[in-house]
Structure 1
Amino acid sequence: MKRLILVRHGKSSWKEDLPDHKRPLKKRGYRDGEKISKTFTEFYSPGAMLWSSPATRALETATIFKEALKVSDEEFRIRQKLYTFDAKELQEIIRSCPNAIDKLMVFGHNPAMTNTVNLLGDKHLENLPTTGLCVIDFQNDEWKDIKNGKTIITLLPKNLR
């Protein structure tokens, strides 16, 4: 069985004139990251590999979760190709995960995240909002074969405020 945990990066700041990939989280992004990661610790069992987009806002969000879930440096990777907005590209990256890893947590961007939640899970979301988290389980032994998963958890910041 494979478990995929998708997390859209937190709310980012447009305050400064920065290139898209360098935009940091705003205060709300940090607060939502703390709330969602703290809530998720109740459901999380150790052993997941965390992959993050290199974009500042995604990496800052991933770091909040890394600390809250007590994930080791060995289980944390920045993946350049995760700076994508395309669901097909995102799914290719996920399907490239080594099969020795049973739980994969990915921090990325919309619309790729929402579309992937809807293409792989069994519960439709209009939008995976910033810092939204979705857990999908698959009855597959290999990442390359994942499809028709069961959405088991969806955590949205607005539901925790």
Structure 2
Amino acid sequence: MKTITFIRHGKSSWDYQVSDLDRPLKERGINDTKLVAEEFKNSGYTVDFIYSSPANRALHTSMIFTRVLDFELNNFKVRKMLYDFSGESVLKFIKSIEDKYHHILIFGHNYAFTTLVNTLGDTYIENVPTAGLIQIEFDIHNWYALQKGKTIKTILPKELR
């Protein structure tokens, strides 16, 4: 059994003249991420590894989660393939994950995440909002054999405010 928890980065700011990679989180993005991370922590899931896009907004979101979960940073990596908006690169990345990991968290972007959770999960989600979390479980033993799974958890910040 394998599980992927997709977390879209928190609400980012367009107030600064920086590259897309460098856009920071807004205060609302930070607060929403904390709410979702606390709710996820209370679910009691064990996470094996966390991967993040190198974009500032995704990386900051992932760091909030690692702090809330008291997660060991030895099991955290930034991957350029996750800075993807179509989902193709993210899917290729997932299929390359080491099989010793059973539950991974991935921090990234739309439209990739909305596309992937609808392609891989069994619940239609119109749009994964900023700081939204969607968890999908797969009846597989190897990541390269990724197929349709079961959407088992959805945590949206607007439901927690």
Q: CA deviation at 1:80?
A: 1.4
Q: Which residue of 2 aligns with 1:56?
A: 56
Q: Distance in 2 between matches of 1:122 and 1:44?
A: 22
The residue identity in structure 2 corresponding to 1:129 is P
Q: Which residue of 1 aligns with 2:108?
A: 108
Q: Which residue of 1 aligns with 2:135?
A: 135
The residue identity in structure 1 corresponding to 2:102 is D
Q: Distance in 1 between matches of 2:30 and 2:7?
A: 14
Question: 2:10 touches 2:32 (CA, 8 Å); kept in 1?
Answer: yes
Gaps of 5+ in 2: none
Residue 42 of structure 2: SS of its match in structure 1?
A: coil
Question: 2:12 touches 2:57 (CA, 8 Å); kept in 1?
Answer: yes
Q: Does 1:92 align with 2:92?
A: yes
Seen in structure 2, the aligned counterparts of structure 1 residues 127 and 47 have a Cα distance that, compared at 3 Å, is: closer
Q: Which residue of 2 aligns with 1:43?
A: 43
Aligned length: 161
Q: Distance in 2 between matches of 1:97 and 1:57?
A: 23
Q: CA deviation at 1:126?
A: 0.5
Deviations 1:71-118 (A, max 9, x none): 101111111111111212111111110001111110000000000000
Q: Distance in 2 between matches of 1:27 and 1:106?
A: 22
TM score, norm. by length of structure 1: 0.98
Q: Distance in 1 between matches of 2:91 and 2:44?
A: 22
Question: 2:47 touches 2:105 (CA, 8 Å); kept in 1?
Answer: no
TM score, norm. by length of structure 2: 0.98
Two-structure CA RMSD over aligned residues (Å): 0.8
Q: Distance in 2 between matches of 1:46 and 1:70?
A: 11
**Which stretches of structure 1, 4 residues or longer, exceed 4 Å deviation after superposition?**
none
Q: Does 1:75 align with 2:75?
A: yes
Q: Distance in 2 between matches of 1:73 and 1:61?
A: 14
Q: CA deviation at 1:121?
A: 0.3
